[in-house]
Structure 1
Amino acid sequence: MADAEAPLAAIRSLPSWLLGRAAARGRALVAEALAAEGLKMWHHVVLSAVRDLAPVAQADLGRGVGLDPKDLVGVLNDLQAAGLVLREPDPRDRRKNAVSLTEEGARLLTCCEKAAREANDDLLAPLSPPERDRFMALLIRISGTEA
């Protein structure tokens, strides 16, 4: 029986496996919090990017968030149908659509950001505040990104 458990123990000791499990738990917590606000993860990502970049050309938005153009159109259709974003001709290039937030989109984004922060607080609840700070610094280092 010990031999049957060894591969599982070996896998479970890998940092990549542990990070994957933590990421999956974090995504699930955030997805649940966003669902309570009526949004999916990609809707939240796109709303946040639109807020930060608006007015933003639809093509630039897709590249900025790393979403396939066809998938982005679906997300934007959902957001526009809900009255959360506007797509209008880009003032810099009338051949392109520019996307911006509506007041309702900004309001919902604020609620979703709060919900996502609370979900992340739940994820990190086992850690003390200094441990959280250290953990975040280490994640930033190994991810190769800046926060």
Structure 2
Amino acid sequence: MSTPDPDDLLAEQLLRLTRRVHHIQKRHLQERALGITPAQSRLLRTLAHFGAPPRMADLAASLEVVPRAVTTLVDGLEASGKVRRVPDPANRRVIRIELTEDGHKALGELHGARRAAAEEILAPLSGAQRDVLGALLDTLVGTVPAQGRHC
């Protein structure tokens, strides 16, 4: 019988953690009765990071999805009043997507749901373990260390 490959075990742990994070975040979203899917949540968060309202193509590129997927997400969010399509002032043929007041409120709720999910997931870890995990994740995702994190 062969010895398990440590990298295979780590990969499986990462996949299990990803599924667990997704499940817990989804539950917290449902508990808040926002009527927003995880994919719509991601679009709202991405939209909030643009300085000016982006084009659908800009959102698709940021989300790394096909434009048709963004259209479906925007349709749902527009129907619920969280985003609206607006013409580009410089080129009326170009449509941009902007958050509505309800969209900004939903973002606040989403932030609370994500924070509650993170607290649930991280509850078993000490502060020092969270710092180590954060530094490791920063390395894996190729980001600058988060503020306040000591490496």
TM-score category of the 2 structures, normalised to the smaller one: 0.7 to 0.9
Greater relative contact order (CA < 8 Å, ≥ 6 in sequence) = 1
Cα deviation 1:45-69 (Å, max 9, x = unaligned): 1111111114111111111111211
AA aligned opposite 2:91:
D
AA aligned opposite 1:27:
H
AA aligned opposite 1:40:
T
Of 51, 58, 63 in structure 1, the residue corresponding to residue 48 of structure 2 is 51
Q: TM-score, normalised by structure 2?
A: 0.85
Q: TM-score, normalised by structure 1?
A: 0.87
Q: Does 1:27 align with 2:22?
A: yes
In the other structure, the counterpart of 1:142 is: 140
Structure 1 window deviating more from structure 2 (63-72 vs 80-89): it is: 63-72
Dislocated runs of 4+, deviation >3 Å: 9-13
Structure 2: tracts of 5 or more residues without a match? 147-151
AA aligned opposite 2:22:
R
Q: How does 1:98-137 map to 2 (within 5 A)?
A: 98-137=96-135
- Secondary structure at the aligned position of 1:86 is classed as strand
The Cα shift of 1:143 comes to 2.4
Change (3 A) 1:24 1:11: farther
Cα deviation 1:60-106 (Å, max 9, x = unaligned): 11111112111111100000000000101122332211111000110
Aligned residues: 142
Q: Is the helix fraction higher in 1 or 2?
A: 1
> For the residues of structure 1 that align with 2:131 and 2:90, how far apart are their CA atoms?
42
The two structures, once aligned, show a CA RMSD in angstroms of 1.9
The Cα shift of 1:144 comes to 2.2
Structure 1: tracts of 5 or more residues without a match? none
> For the residues of structure 1 that align with 2:43 and 2:140, how far apart are their CA atoms?
25
Change (3 A) 1:100 1:18: same
Q: Is the strand fraction higher in 1 or 2?
A: 1
